[in-house]
């Protein structure tokens, strides 16, 4: 039986990039993985087929040979024959490492757990930068056993009898070899014969901690700041994890941010828009500036203020500010105001008055419509 084309197996084109090939492989491997298809011989065969195809196409030299000679390039014990070298299994271990709780070659925990915290800041604080104090629960080395987990300071820990010090256990699932952290020593490779009474052998104890975090100017909403070594302490003297601070920016009542630019909608009276005016507008840095509104300004008109926008992260420059005019129709008119508006209306020639270009243009189109011209 002839073998299927490797590109057809992964459902990619012959011009596919290495990134596209890897993505397709991961999807297929997850689809046909034995753990998800127990007892399904067809899925197992396809899983082998997918790995064989990827083992060739991920390697530039093997792929070039395959493109030129096809499957004949790997006959007679050539490279890639069988398709299940160490590389193929290695990629599978990398893919399912998080599910297994470990990575290829990893037995013992290399560091303490990372900690995730969240802090909220104002938009003005995101503009200028701010220092925030975050509080969080963490774990530090036990003060009773100095982090060893053992109550016997004179006796060291013993080699785990289950994994024999490797920290991991291998098991066969069909043809697939799976490695998991040892359930007896939890991946440390050692067991404690006389656990510390305070930490119960973990070597760690709870601690409430406060830390000042410097948030830079120009930071975006949803940004994550990493502080190395401020996570939970590692067991048996291993390095601590990291602290990740997720920054949430509270929406502002006046300003809306879009990258380095700021938008602000300013209400303008009908008389100001008609006659022209000079208005004062706020700036995100706490200052203010004046904007000239030309005669006949329409609602929705935008004015650009260069260099008045938001801070740019790790830069001294700033974006621009855009002022959008919203012309308001007056309400609750006095008797005199109504008389003045009625007098103004009587001075207008008709709905096609050139003083209202949008109105005249619209009704001109309406006229053409009724006359069948559009």
Known binding residues for Zn(2+): 142, 145, 160, 163, 182, 185, 196, 199
Distance CA 266, CA 290 (A): 12
Q: Where are the beta strands (DSSP E) in the chain?
A: 115-122, 130-141, 158-159, 168-173, 176-181, 190-191, 204-215, 224-227, 243-250, 255-258, 261-269, 277-282, 288-293, 302-305, 321-328
H-type alpha helices, the chain: 6-10, 18-32, 41-57, 60-69, 86-100, 123-128, 270-275, 335-347, 357-370
Strands 158-159 and 190-191: antiparallel
Binding residues: 142, 145, 160, 163, 182, 185, 196, 199
H-type alpha helices, 120-243: 123-128
Query: What does the DSSP 8-state code read for residue 240?
Result: P
- Give the number of residues written for the chain: 374
Distance CA 94, CA 179 (A): 12
Distance CA 88, CA 54 (A): 8
DSSP H/E element including 320: none
Contact between residue 321 and residue 291 where contact means Cβ atoms under 8 Å apart: no
């Amino acid at each position: 039986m002839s073998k299927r084309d490797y590109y057809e197996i992964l459902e990619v084109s012959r011009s596919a990039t290495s990134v596209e090939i890897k993505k397709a492989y991961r999807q297929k491997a997850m689809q046909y993985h034995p753990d998800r298809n127990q007892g399904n011989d067809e899925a197992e065969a396809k899983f082998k087929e997918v790995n064989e195809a990827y083992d060739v196409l991920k390697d530039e030299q093997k792929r070039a040979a395959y493109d030129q000679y096809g499957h004949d390039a790997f006959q007679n014990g050539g490279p890639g024959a069988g398709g299940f070298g160490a590389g193929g299994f290695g990629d599978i271990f990398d893919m399912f490492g998080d599910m297994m709780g470990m990575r290829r070659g990893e037995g013992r925990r290399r560091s303490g757990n990372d900690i995730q915290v969240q802090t909220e800041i104002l938009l003005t604080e995101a503009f200028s930068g701010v220092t925030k104090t975050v509080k969080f629960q963490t774990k530090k080395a036990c003060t009773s056993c100095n982090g060893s987990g053992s109550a016997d300071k004179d006796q060291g820990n013993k080699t785990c009898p289950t994994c024999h010090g490797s920290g991991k256990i291998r098991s066969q699932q069909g043809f697939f070899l799976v490695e998991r952290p040892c359930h007896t020593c939890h991946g440390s490779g050692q067991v404690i014969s006389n656990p510390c009474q305070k930490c119960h052998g973990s070597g760690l104890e709870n601690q409430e901690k406060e830390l000042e975090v410097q948030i830079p100017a120009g930071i975006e909403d949803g940004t994550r700041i990493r502080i190395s070594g401020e996570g939970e302490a590692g067991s048996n003297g291993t390095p601590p994890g990291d602290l990740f601070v997720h920054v949430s920016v509270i929406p502002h009542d006046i300003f809306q941010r879009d990258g380095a630019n700021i938008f602000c909608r300013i209400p303008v009276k009908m008389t100001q828009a008609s006659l022209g005016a000079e208005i004062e507008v706020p700036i995100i840095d706490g200052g203010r500036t004046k904007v000239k509104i030309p005669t006949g300004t329409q609602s929705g008109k935008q004015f650009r203020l260069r260099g008045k926008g938001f801070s740019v992260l790790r830069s001294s420059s700033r974006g621009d500010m855009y002022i959008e005019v919203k012309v308001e129709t007056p309400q609750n008119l006095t008797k005199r105001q109504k008389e003045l508006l009625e007098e103004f209306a009587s001075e207008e020639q008709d709905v096609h008055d050139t003083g209202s270009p949008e109105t005249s243009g619209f009704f001109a189109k309406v006229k053409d419509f009724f006359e069948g011209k559009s």
